[in-house]
Amino acid sequence: MARVYNFSAGPSILPESVLRRAADEMLDYQGSGQSVMEMSHRSKTYDAIIKECEALLREVMNIPDNYKVLFLQGGASSQFAMIPLNLMNKNGKADFLITGQWANKAYQEASRYGEAHVVASSKDKTYCYIPAWKAEDFTPDADYVHICMNNTIYGTRFTELPQTGDIPLVADISSCILSEPLDVSKFGLLYAGAQKNMGPAGLTVVIVREDLIGNAQEITPTMFNYQIHADNGSMYNTPPCYSIYICKLVLEWIKNEIGGLANMQDINEKKAALLYDFLDASKLFKGTVEKKDRSLMNIPFVTGNEELDAKFVKEAAAAGFVNLKGHRSVGGMRASIYNAMPIEGVEKLVEFMKAFEEANA
Ligand SMILES: *Cc1c(COP(=O)(O)O)cnc(C)c1O
């Protein structure tokens, strides 16, 4: 069996031990005689899986008791509507930092349900940096401030959080969840599509402070109301059962094999440094992002020559380094090195880049 090094931005690489365990349990989950895909979500066996997944997420992320954890569907993209429908409920206003396409989509969707304000944007330079903000830039009576913590397409991340005072901070953490410790208590709401760093597509995790739910706008569809899902333990309707099960296995991997998020961060910092150090020294390749804002998870780079970029992507794929083509809006290459990418995957990619540089000097 030949496994490739998969640098996809999402859906993306999963830990091999998780896939093996899922394969082992595929036909007969722990003596139930069924696959997790086949069993009733109301069964005792499945109830234990979803409860364990939530307990592990709470433990690994150190989520305070006054936060609800919701396992939803519809992707991070549904949250772009669900958040304003549930949170833009006092003054009908929210503030946005526009650091890329996802942040912009969150802003545009929110504008349909209330007054959405742009506080700062880095669109002028294709989002290659995190724009500066001042505390007084925020709308004093905004219902929340929204940021996208890690910008999957452009490869930037917030290393410092906006000081929003009493205004709840809402963050899209789709592509950085579980990559390093995060102080959940600094946020009103966190959300993530699972398919970048926690499991297969189909699951969206929302972590929300209890006092922010229960006051959804009148027009909110039942399925878009956080209160409904919170009251029903994410079982108002059929949850994405199998994705939640894989997410549980990923959390077990982080807890037992990695040893928690502080260790995960160490590993992720080492991996990112390997690639960034090479890019900084290379005469052919260069990173596209301002150094202070560099992501640990998504690393875009270019040669400056589109034909050479295409040649690199093609030769890399043939050598077993796949999904390195950059997003269409940035061009060039992007290596997504999520939690599950082993350090040797990055070491070997750097070796391959060195060889390519020599061959194409
Ligand atoms: C992938 C991604 C999204 C979109 O997620 P879907 O689950 O496809 O809706 C939103 N935000 C960020 C930061 C992402 O990386």
pLDDT at 52: 98
* Rounded distance between C-alpha atoms, residue 125 and residue 329, angstroms: 12
What mean pLDDT is predicted for residues 310-322? 98
* Rounded distance between C-alpha atoms, residue 232 and residue 237, angstroms: 9
Q: What domains can you pick out in the chain, each with its CATH number?
A: 17-257 (3.40.640.10), 260-360 (3.90.1150.10)
pLDDT digits (tens, 9 = 90+) for 189-210: 999 999 999 999 999 999 999 9
329 pLDDT band (50/70/90 cuts)?
confident
Tokens of 213: 């739910």
**Measured in angstroms, how far is the CA atom of residue 261 from the centroid of ligand 1?**
22
**Measured in angstroms, how far is the CA atom of residue 107 from the centroid of ligand 1?**
14
pLDDT digits (tens, 9 = 90+) for 131-162: 999 888 999 999 999 999 999 999 999 999 99
Above 90 in pLDDT, residue 2?
Answer: no
Characterize the bridge pairing of strands 333-336 and 5-6: unpaired
Nearest CA residue ID for atom 5, ligand 1: 76
What mean pLDDT is predicted for residues 334-339? 98
Above 90 in pLDDT, residue 346?
Answer: yes
Tokens of 189: 């709401």
Nearest atom (ligand 1) to Cα of 204: 7
Of 152, 179, 204, best ligand 1 pocket probe by most atoms within 8 Å of the beta carbon: 152
**Measured in angstroms, how far is the CA atom of residue 205 from the centroid of ligand 1?**
12
Whether 241 and 37 have beta carbons less than 8 Å apart is answered as: yes
Would you please indicate which residues are annotated as catalytic (active-site) residues? 102, 172, 196
pLDDT digits (tens, 9 = 90+) for 81-121: 999 999 999 999 999 999 999 999 999 999 999 999 999 99
pLDDT at 135: 87
Whether 331 and 14 have beta carbons less than 8 Å apart is answered as: no
Nearest atom (ligand 1) to Cα of 175: 15
**Measured in angstroms, how far is the CA atom of residue 152 from the centroid of ligand 1?**
8
Q: Which residues line ligand 1 (CB under 6 A)?
A: 10, 75-77, 102, 148, 152, 172, 174-175, 193, 196
Query: What pTM was estimated for this model as a whole?
Result: 0.98
Above 70 in pLDDT, residue 1?
Answer: no
